[in-house]
Amino acid sequence: MNAIYILWIRQLKRYSRSKARMISSLAQPLMFLLALGFGFGPIFEKAGQGSYIEFLGPGIVAMAVIFTAIFSGMEVIWDRQFGFLKETLVAPVSRLNIMIGRTMGGATVASIQGVVVFVLAMIVGFRPYSAGMLGIAFLFIILTAVVFTALGTAIASKMEDMQVFPIIMNFIVMPLFFLSGAIFPLKSLPAGVQFAARFNPLVYGVDGLRGALVGASDFGIMNDFIILILIAGVFMAIGAWLFSKIEI
């Protein structure tokens, strides 16, 4: 447990020292929220779909979470290059604990980013339909952060080139984001694309957030919760196994 705590705190300290990173990671979600929310809002309303800001808000919160979470894996490559990863791996600590500590640290940072973007969405005009469901919404923020931090960390454990990691992550993240229902309803897509989207973990994070914040869920909040828990467990196990294969 000490190893988990140490790695967790180390991730938070890195985040708190990087104010430029904090600000820049908010720029893209805010741009999407303002440009899409006010740009496509009138069209969305004329189509009889209601307020686009209300629809878009949960998706942009999820966007902030996934980008911060999955790119936290880059720190594994950084630690490998500067020797900290070797020091961690030779310690008498299980690889699962290392994976948990890193994942919890990165997920905490991503969750903070998600909460900040949620506050910005409130300033822009988004309003949750029930204050009593905010706790459920924050739970989905945390679960989504855990899932994608674990994924990013697992992938980074098999990479050594820091420059290649962002390219591969963008190749993964952008399709996941655009096929998550974050910026347009999945029901409007062809049946084949809808079926493929069900294998996208972010779909259940967005759907759970939208169900908690707006009261509109395609799969049911409980189903979203269970699926995210299962996916998080699978990614954590895969990441621990990949860490056990790292040569030191």
Q: pLDDT (tens digit, 9 = 90+) per residue, 127-146?
A: 888 888 899 999 999 999 99
Round to whole Å and give the CA distance between 240 and 245.
9
pLDDT band, very low/low/confident/very high, at 170 (cuts 50, 70, 90): confident
pLDDT of residue 18 exceeding 60, the answer is no
pLDDT of residue 175 exceeding 70, the answer is yes
Q: What is the pLDDT of residue 131?
A: 84
Q: Which has more pLDDT, 21 or 38?
A: 38
Residue 147 DSSP SS3: helix
Residue 167 DSSP SS3: helix
Which segment, 99-113, 142-156, 160-174, 179-193, is predicted with the most confidence on average? 142-156
pLDDT band, very low/low/confident/very high, at 208 (cuts 50, 70, 90): very high
Whether residue 27 contacts residue 123, with contact meaning beta carbons closer than 8 Å, is answered with no
State CA 188 to chain mean position distance: 24
Nearest Cα to Cα of residue 218 among 197, 232, 239: 197
pLDDT > 90: what percent of the chain?
A: 23
Nearest Cα to Cα of residue 102 among 229, 247, 235, 210: 235
